[in-house]
Structures are given as C-alpha cells and as structure tokens.
Amino acid sequence: MLKGAMHVHSTYSDGEFTLRELREVFLAQGCAFACMTDHAEYFNEDSIQRYVEECRSLSDPAFQFVPGLEYRCERNMHILGYCAIKLSSATEPERIIDHIREQGVVSVIAHPKDDFFPWIETFTTLPDGIETWNSKYDGRYAPRPGTFQLLGRLQKRDPGMHAFYGQDLHWKKQYRGLWVHLEATSASPDSILAALASGKFSGAKDALQLPSSGVLPAALLSEFEQAHARSQKMRRFFSSGKQALERVGLRVPASLKAQLRRIF
C-alpha cells in the first residue's frame, strides 16, 4: 500500500511550493507519490515540457511525482487530468473529458459546486470520477454528502466511476491531512495510473478510510453533513469579518490568513 497526495499545485501555476520543496514535505509525511495538477492555463508548449522533465528528475524509487493538469472549463468548472500533460484550447467540459481520455489517463471533475450537479447529470460524456472530498474547497472536517450522492446517481449510468479525494494544495500553511492509499505494485507512474483507473485506492484522514466506490454508511453521511455545516458556518463568520474590514480600507494580515488556512 502506497501513501500519497492528490490534486497538488506548485509554483508552475499558483502554488507556493516548488516541486523540490513538495518532495521534501511529502517524504517527511511518509508519502511515496504526489499526483500534480497544476493549472493548464499557466503553461505553453515549452513550459509544459520543463514541468514534466522536472517531475521526472525529482522522482526516484523513494518518491514519485506524477505530472498532471487541471483544466478550467466554462462556468469555471475544473476538471483534473491525472497523468495528463497535453494542453487544450477547449472550454466545454465534455470536450475536455474527451481530451483527457484520448491521452489514456484519468479524468475527474474537481470540487463540483452544488449548483453544477444538475448540469453534470446532463453530460453525455462522463468523467472517470468525481472529487467527493476536496479538503481546500470542502474544508478539513468533512466533505459534502451531496457530492457522494451525485456520484451515486452517475454510477447508475457508469458503474466504473470512482470517488476521488484531493488536497487541492496551494499554500505552505494549508491543511495537509487528506491522503490516498494506493494498491500498487510500485510507485511508477504507470502503476499509479492503473490503480487510479481501476479504483484500487482509498481516501484516508486520521483513522477514517473512504472507499473509491464512494458508498458510505448513512450514519457517516449524517455525521459529515453536521460537521460540514458547522465548518461552513465558521467560514462564513470569518469571511464576513474580512469583507467588513475591507469595506473600511483594512486588510487581513497575511500571517492571520495563513493561520486560518491551517484551521480550515
């Protein structure tokens, strides 16, 4: 079983960590791999090659970077291409899913907004999975039960879809406690991709293990709903305070922002 992080950003797009720093951070936390998903719109054909090459040069038997991209689509929907390294000018979600599929890799709708759910259900072309817990977007305490329910409805059309778990890591002070455990024979990109595609993985936070099927007990979903509601209430409180300060020309100190990122 390999421990790793998914949905990670570096200084190649809008992350604060360099790839070299990420390697040290994740190795110190017992990880064997990190699936990178820097934003596609930051790249051109030259920089994407540098990105892929640096991921390779910093990989060895102890730790593997798997380069990938996060594609921005219309209405600001984001789709992760795990192991995708080809750029696209398309913005329609289904065309991006096809673009990722043509590369023979894994497509995942990232942190879908609640009001996107009905839209996603109209897609003729479905992704390989839904990011059911994004610890930046949803918070560290609990995911949204509705995202698991969305996946369940989509699985009636495509039983091969999986639940994915990602940190969406951008900031150095951000919470890093949502992991993925892979059933892979090695930490090579091919083995990691095969495990993701076949659902041979689980999400992990503390003692909690979350299956790639996304099928959870009703009692756990109820706990998630209550915990997420409490977390969102706290977030709204701090967000309102920030907006009030900005209206009178004051800015929240960067040090305080960093601490709040650790909390949420």
- Check which CATH number belongs to the domain holding 93 and give it: 3.20.20.140
The least confident of 38-47, 99-108, 148-157, 227-236 is 227-236
**Distance between CA 91 and CA 112 in Å, rounded?**
16
In a shared domain, residues 115 and 234: no
- pLDDT the model gives residue 218: 94
Read off the pLDDT band of 248 (50, 70, 90): low
179-182 and 2-8 strand pairing: antiparallel
**What is the DSSP track for 19-69?**
HHHHHHHHHHTT-SEEEE-EEGGG--HHHHHHHHHHHHHT-BTTBEEE--E
In a shared domain, residues 82 and 212: yes
**Distance between CA 175 and CA 264 in Å, rounded?**
7
In a shared domain, residues 158 and 86: yes
Residue 234 has pLDDT above 90, yes or no: no
- Average per-residue pLDDT in the chain? 92
Number of domains in the chain: 2
Helices 145-155/218-247 angle, 10° precision: 130
Residue 13 has pLDDT above 80, yes or no: yes
User: For 189-225, what is each residue's pLDDT tens digit?
Assistant: 999 999 999 999 999 999 999 999 999 999 999 999 9
Higher pLDDT: 249 or 7? It is: 7
In a shared domain, residues 124 and 239: no
- Average pLDDT in the 98-124 region? 98
In a shared domain, residues 100 and 76: yes
Residue 96 has pLDDT above 80, yes or no: yes
In a shared domain, residues 160 and 246: no
Read off the pLDDT band of 253 (50, 70, 90): low
The structure tokens 């997420």 sit at 228
Q: Token digits for 158?
A: 């495509």
In a shared domain, residues 143 and 250: no
Read off the pLDDT band of 255 (50, 70, 90): low
In a shared domain, residues 144 and 194: yes
Read off the pLDDT band of 187 (50, 70, 90): confident
- pLDDT the model gives residue 251: 66
- Amino acid code (one letter) for 13: S
In a shared domain, residues 155 and 170: yes
Read off the pLDDT band of 185 (50, 70, 90): confident
In a shared domain, residues 33 and 151: yes
- pLDDT the model gives residue 227: 86
In a shared domain, residues 141 and 33: yes
Which residue range is the domain that position 22 belongs to?
A: 2-216
User: For 15-50, what is each residue's pLDDT tens digit?
Assistant: 999 999 999 999 999 999 999 999 999 999 999 999
In a shared domain, residues 258 and 187: no
- pLDDT the model gives residue 186: 85
DSSP, res 225: H
